Amino acid sequence: MKYKHIRLKYIRVQSLMNVRMAKAFRTSREALCILTGLAPIILKTEQTVKKYIAIKGSQTHLFDSEVELKNWPHLADDVNITETKEYNEQKIQAYRDGSKNVHGVGSGVAIFVDKALVAQLNFKLYSRCSNNRAVLLTIVKALEVIELKDISENSPRTVTLLTDSSNAINSLKNVNKHGYLMEEFRKTATILERLNWTKLFSWVKAHI
C-alpha cells in the first residue's frame, strides 16, 4: 500500500476487530492476527489488488477467474469424465504437458490421428498461473482442435487425452469448480458429446 497514513487506518480497524474477537488487549497486532486466524489486512488488500489487475488489467494475462452463476451450464449438460488405461489402440490421441519454474509457465499439446502428428500447440502463460491451469488450458485447446477435425462418419469418434497430472483429471470431475477454464472445458466437451464424440482420459507416468 502506497500511503503510510492509509496503511495505519487499515491496521487500526483490523486491530479493533481482532481485540473484540480475541478478548486480548496486551499483545501485538501480529499476535492478534495469529490468535484470530485472520491474515493481516494489508497483505489481503495487496493480494486483492494484484488479482484484480491480473484479471482486468491486461488481456494477455490468463487467470482462472470465477465464472458468474448466471453463466454456469445447465445441470442437464453434465460432462462425462471416463478414465482408461488402454489407449494405445485409439485412433485419436492428444498428449499434453505443462510446467512452471522460475522462467515462467508454459504448456503444450500434440494431437495424433492414426499415430500421425496432425496438430501441435504451445502456450506461454502468465507467471501467476499454476501448473494445473496450464494443464486445463491444453485440454481445452485440444478439444477445440478435435471439434474442427473432419472425421468421417464411419470412423470411431473417440479421443484419448493423456496427461501426467491426476490432479487435473480430478479437477475436471469436480462439479463444484466454476473457474473460467473449467467452464470452457464443459462447453467444448458438451458440443463434442452432441456430435457423438467420446472422451477418454488416461494418466501416464511423468517424464524425468
- Residues 130 and 37 placed together within one structural domain of the fold: no
- pLDDT value at residue 56: 58
Q: Is the dihedral of CA 139, 142, 146, 148 positive or negative?
A: positive
Please check whether residue 166 is in contact with residue 148, taking contact to mean a CB–CB distance below 8 angstroms: no
Please check whether residue 203 is in contact with residue 164, taking contact to mean a CB–CB distance below 8 angstroms: yes
Better-predicted residue by pLDDT, 152 or 205: 205
Q: Is residue 63 part of a domain?
A: no
- Residues 9 and 102 placed together within one structural domain of the fold: no
- Residues 175 and 109 placed together within one structural domain of the fold: yes
- pLDDT value at residue 207: 54
- Residues 102 and 177 placed together within one structural domain of the fold: yes
Domain limit, last residue, from 19, 34, 57: 57
Phi and psi, residue 103, nearest 5°: -90, -10
The structural domain count of the chain equals 2
- Residues 20 and 77 placed together within one structural domain of the fold: no
Q: Is residue 149 part of a domain?
A: yes
- Residues 199 and 131 placed together within one structural domain of the fold: yes
Domain interval for residue 48 = 4-57
Residue 62 has pLDDT above 50, yes or no: no
Q: Are strands 92-101 and 158-163 parallel, antiparallel or unpaired?
A: parallel
- Residues 81 and 138 placed together within one structural domain of the fold: yes
- Residues 168 and 190 placed together within one structural domain of the fold: yes
Name the pTM for this structure: 0.62
Query: Mean pLDDT in the chain?
Result: 79
- Residues 80 and 105 placed together within one structural domain of the fold: yes
Residue 192 has pLDDT above 70, yes or no: yes
